[in-house]
Amino acid sequence: MARPLQESIRSKRTGASKKAAPAANPRRQRLWRDIALILVTPFLFYLLASLVTFSPADPGWSHSGSITAPLHNVGGRVGAWLADVLLYLTGYVAFLLPVVLGGVAWIALFGMDSDGKPGNRRVFLQFGPGDGYPDGMTVDSEGCLWIAFWDGWCVRRYSPSGEWMETIDMPVARPTSCVFGGRDLEQLYITSASIGLDDEAKQMQPNAGGLFIVVPGVQGIADVPFAG
C-alpha cells in the first residue's frame, strides 16, 4: 500500500502473476522478425567489413591477384570476391549498399504506411472495464513500464513483453501519474486526483489529491535534457 509523502517513504508491493490481455499479433510474428534480424544484421556487417578492407592484391572477380599471399580482406576469399564485384560494378557507391539494404530490411520487417510513416503497429497492452483507465506512466532501468490507473486504485508494472509483474495498491481511486526520483532514482513518486469525487468518496479517501512515494526496489532512468 502506498502512503502519503509526509507519512512514509516505503510501501507494500503486491505481486501479480496474472498477465495482461494478449497482444493482437501472435508471438510467431515477433519470432520471425527476430530471426530475420539475426540473419540480416551479420550479413550487412560482413558486407561492410569486406568493402572497407578490400585490397587489389587479393584474388577477385575482375583480377587474379595472389592466391599464395595472405589475404587482406577480413571477409576471406568470399568477401574479397564480393567486394571486388560490387566495387567494379558500382564504384564507391558500393559502400552505401549496406545502408540501403539495412533500410530496406527495416521497412520490410516493421512496415510503412502509404504516407511513409512507420506502420505495422501492434497492441502492447489491453485492459478491461475493471482495470481502470491507464493514465501517466514511466519506465524503469530494467525497461519495465509503470502505469497509474485512474479509477483503478493502483499502479502496475509491466515487463517489456507485456507481462503484468506487480501491483502497488493505492489508498486513492485516482492515481494520475508516476515518476522516479530521489538521489539514486530509487523512489517512485505518484500523484493523485480528487476531482470528480463526491463527499462520501472524499471521506473514504482523505488523501485523494495527495502525493505519494514508494520504494519499489528498482531504479528509474535519468532524463536527458532537451538541447533545443
The C-alpha cell at 126 is 489491453
Please say whether the beta carbons of 16 and 166 come within 8 A: yes
pLDDT tens digit sequence for 83-108: 888 888 888 888 888 888 887 777 66
> 80-89, 139-148, 176-185, 190-199: which range is least confident on average?
80-89
Which one of the listed residues 58, 84, 131, 135 is annotated catalytic?
A: 135
| 106 or 186, higher pLDDT | 186
Please say whether the beta carbons of 183 and 212 come within 8 A: no
pTM of the model: 0.54
Position 185 scores a pLDDT of 95
135 in catalytic set: yes
The full DSSP string for the chain is --EETTT-S----EE--PPPPPPSS-HHHHHHHHHHHHHHHHHHHHHHHHHHT--TTS--SS----SSSPP--TTHHHHHHHHHHHHHHHGGGGGGHHHHHHHHHHHHHH-B-TTSSB----------GGG-EEEEEEEBTTS-EEEEEETTTEEEEE-TT--EEEEEE-SSS-EEEEEEESTTS-EEEEEE--TT--HHHHHH-TTTT-EEEE--SS-B-PPPPP--
Main-chain dihedrals φ then ψ at residue 55, nearest 5 degrees: -140, 135
What's the length of the chain? 228
Position 172 scores a pLDDT of 96
Position 44 scores a pLDDT of 85
